[in-house]
Chains A and B, each alone.
Chain A
Amino acid sequence: MSTATETIEGFVSKEYKYGFFTEVETESAPPGLNEEIIQLISTKKNEPDFLLEWRLKAYHHWLTMREPNWAKVKYPPVDYQKIIYYSAPKRKGTGPASLEEVDPKLLETYEKLGIPLKERERLAGVAVDAVFDSVSVGTTFKEQLAAKGIIFCSFTDAVQEHPELVKKYLGTVVPYTDNFYAALNSAVFSDGSFCYIPKGVRCPMELSTYFRINAANTGQFERTLIIADEGSYVSYLEGCTAPMRDENQLHAAVVELLALDRAEIKYSTVQNWYPGDENGRGGIYNFVTKRGMAKGAHSKISWTQVETGSAITWKYPSVVLQGDNSVGEFYSVALTNNYQQADTGTKMVHVGRNSRSTIVSKGISAGHGQNSYRGLVKILKGASNARNFSQCDSLLLGNKCGAHTFPYIEVKNTSSKVEHEATTSKIGEDQIFYCNQRGLSTQDAVNMIVNGYCKEVFKQLPMEFAVEAQKLLGVSLEGSVG
């Protein structure tokens, strides 16, 4: 198997493509978490009083909580007093930054990541909010969107410009009492994206946020809030990367989606945080709370995620199907290679009548990776004729990895119908042989088969992302065949 050895060597020497570090002058808070730090973050952002009060309430609640330990992931305890909770590149001047004022070094960083923010090179049809460590450095196409009445800006700007909307909706989907990481995020969140689509507006372009962790020893705590008013539609993308470091960094985000009557939100994630090296050193701890509230009748929320990065993923994008005839969807590809661990899945809570949900989860484990699907389907008593279909497949590449499925099904209504199916398998030798025979290398054959296996999910992604996701999967798998 000389070809296999070559690919393994190629993989080892191949570095995580986004693992560079940008030298920028930053200002950061001292490490540790206490009321002063929270006050500092709040002052830095010139926040209204209600927000500071909310943060402090969340902080006090967090102090009473314990870290969840039910997930099938293992990691040394996180010292929350050693983390820097606020770090931002130094800004010239004050107030919301326009892109012209942004440090050219930051623009270069984003260009290197393939996300040009400059006017003439912008990705056509995609508006980007770029978040660097704790702050947003710029948002593109703001004016064009504003013309349609769409608000798309960083969370900080939203707090300044639309405090009434923030106050009305913040924490309505994920209250600060929700879980340990959501409480932590609520206390210290620094930035993120805010998006409001007015009644009847179909957002003309993809909205996206690109998250970048840069500074060492910091945690990233962003918060995204998307509100789709009656009859509106929005498609939202999220991407993320971080430098390669030997120590672990914490990322605890909260995403809240709210869809009113007949509104539709499509949320796609390509998560590519630094996964750690081949010995499992370093990498991001990705502890994220994402939830959508399909509040209105006929509303629809769809999550699509491609999880290839992070040392540990703890993430359950959920939908509360409150409106009658509402629809929830979850499509996921989660890949764990080397020593990565993922415990991910979804929650579908059916409250409204005739609500429907679909879950398609594809897990791939290679190397020493441990991949778990954990999902809850809950049909409440009033959810007559609710319908759920879940399909969870796992693919094992190699004999040192693990694939696990932990579905929870709770049904309290007779007229509803819930189905769950799961399979675990590996790539057959006959399939590889068939491809080899036709001149494909084993690595190419595996890539092809894996991409075919994930196709059902990839086709849910917007075009540009689907291509990126396919490439990413190819890179992440390299060296796993031998």
Chain B
Amino acid sequence: MIATQPTREMKVTDPYFKHFERFEKTRSTDGPGWLFPMRKAGLMRFAETGFPTLRDEDWRYTNVAPLASLPFKPVFDSASGFPEARSIRPWPLAQSIGCRLVFVNGCLSPDLSLIPDRNGGVKIKNLKAALREDPDFLHAHFSRYAGNGDNSFAALNTAFFQDGAFIHAPAGSGLTEPILLVFLSTATDGGNTSHPRNLIIAEKGSRLAVFECYYSVNDAVYFTNAVTEVVVGDAARLEHGKFQDESSAAFHMASMHAHLADRCDFRSHSVATGARLSRNNIRIKLDGEGSDCILNGLYLTKGDQLCDHHMIVEHAKPHCNSHEYFNGILDGRSRGVFHGRIFVRPEAQKTDAKQTNKNLLLSDDAAANTKPQLEIYADDVKCTHGATVGQLNDESIFYLRARGIPLETARRMLIHAFAGEIIERIQCESVRNELDRLIWERLEQNPQVAAK
């Protein structure tokens, strides 16, 4: 048993090596000198750990076997797919937000992107350009937070990433308008893989709002493997959001690593409606005193979808608050997976951490798996978590019906409110309104919401 396992994994990761060799020949001159060893370390790490299996505690509810058996076709040709991208319908959020970077299959499309001239001193560009223009500054931050140890998908991204967004708000700068990052897939055949890589740095006292959106043109079986690193400096305010609406056949793996300094205010939203299998690894390190962190999430799944949120919030310093709110509405044979861990180090006294996960099952075949965990080494802390799985509360329905509201309307009201309590926490008004409308429509499309 011990002898056979590594060889089996080697087979799975073999094609990745071949691609990397090809990639090595053509691309090793790209980017600063420190980058290539980093990529290589990423590949080695990926080869070492291979794809996770259900035996891995962190993946026990999420089977990535169908992804592992997919042919691996990283997209290297940056111009491919641009023509199709231009012809597609207007994407949600894009009309209301004037500042955007658009990436097609992981590569920047300058035509579709729009950067206003006046942006309050905030640098907004693609990562490739930033690596060329300012390699020393990037060296100090790039891959420092995501690392390679945590999961093999982040390591794979480090090995193969092409491009992504680089947003840098210097001390005291600020932008009231949100910045939109659109990641579009035009893949038509199975296995196309893009590796978007984003780096967001908000320095001391700055203000930023960044929203990532993942869309597709076709219903192909492609794979998006994204990594976003976020650095929040002292007293900075950053709102980060992610709207994942990939094709229903796609695989989506994403990691978000945030590092928080003193007295900052960080909010991160994750709204997931797409992909056949999606996984969001969210890692927050509260490494300064007096910071506030809100993680907020909503997942709507149907059919055979599986949506997994996996969070670790690490309290390393005292006097920080972290709050997690995740709601899921599950229909069809879909599954919602939630793993949240609050990790409080011995020195992080006076921590106030809270975690809630609520799941609404609309169908008898849907299932929810939730693991809200606390790991606490400090004694003067307030940590709570709660999780519920079930159907709509009979008493709430009765309350509404007693006030003359018909059953169907009452059910609709409660389901919309269940989603609404998450959307409500988005501060940026234009994004909130648009997502609210979008989620409302999605729910209305579902016959389950109004039926019964």
Contact = CB atoms under 8 A, between A and B. Distances in A.
6 contacts: A400-B346, A408-B370, A411-B389, A417-B391, A420-B388, A422-B384
A397 B379 contact: yes
Interface stretch (A354-362, A423-431, A451-459): A423-431
B376 A396 contact: yes
A379 B388 CA distance: 13
Given A410-B367, A413-B364, A420-B386, A401 B379 contact: yes
Interface in A383-402: 394, 396-402
A410 B369 contact: yes
A199 interface: no
Nearest to A370: B377
A372 B95 CA distance: 50
Contacts of B387: 407, 409, 418-420
A425 B390 contact: no
B398 to A, nearest CB: 16
A80 interface: no
B113 interface: no
Contacts of A403: 374, 376
Given A405-B385, A406-B373, A411-B359, A399 B390 contact: no
Given A407-B372, A411-B359, A414-B362, A422 B379 contact: no
B41 to A, nearest CB: 27
B390 A422 contact: no
9 A-B pairs with least C-beta separation: A396-B379, A411-B389, A414-B361, A405-B374, A417-B390, A424-B383, A412-B367, A402-B377, A404-B375
A281 to B, nearest CB: 23
Contact of B388 (A399, A402, A418, A426): A418
A294 B65 CA distance: 36
A45 interface: no
Contact of B371 (A396, A408, A426): A408
B382 interface: yes
A401 B381 CA distance: 13
Q: Which of B57, B359, B365, B376 has the most CB of A within 10 A?
A: B376
Given A409-B371, A411-B389, A426-B380, 16 more contacts: A401-B377, A404-B374, A404-B375, A405-B373, A405-B385, A408-B369, A409-B389, A410-B368, A413-B361, A414-B364, A415-B391, A416-B390, A421-B385, A422-B385, A422-B386, A424-B384
Contact of B379 (A398, A412, A413): A398
B127 interface: no
A70 interface: yes
Q: Which of B61, B379, B383 has the most CB of A within 10 A?
A: B379
B295 interface: no
A72 B364 CA distance: 35
Interface secondary structure of A, over-half rule: strand
Interface of A: 70, 72, 379, 381, 394, 396-426
Interface in B288-308: none
B347 to A, nearest CB: 9
B312 interface: no
Nearest to B372: A407
Contacts of A417: 388-391
Given A399-B346, A420-B386, A407 B373 contact: yes
Contact of A394 (B361, B376, B391): B376
Contacts of B365: 381
Given A400-B346, A405-B385, A415-B391, A424 B367 contact: no
B374 A424 contact: yes
Nearest to A427: B379
A432 B47 CA distance: 55
Interface in B329-377: 346, 349, 359, 361-377
A426 B383 contact: no
B368 A411 contact: yes
A424 B57 contact: no
Interface string B313-339: 000000000000000000000000000
Nearest to B393: A417
B267 to A, nearest CB: 24
Given A406-B373, A418-B388, A421-B384, A411 B378 contact: no
B431 to A, nearest CB: 31
B391 A404 contact: no
Contact of A414 (B378, B382, B391): B391
B313 to A, nearest CB: 14
A210 B72 CA distance: 61
Q: Which of A397, A401, A402, A419 has the most CB of B within 10 A?
A: A402
A399 B379 contact: yes
Nearest to A420: B387
Given A381-B364, A413-B364, A414-B364, A394 B386 contact: no
A407 B389 contact: no
B173 to A, nearest CB: 39
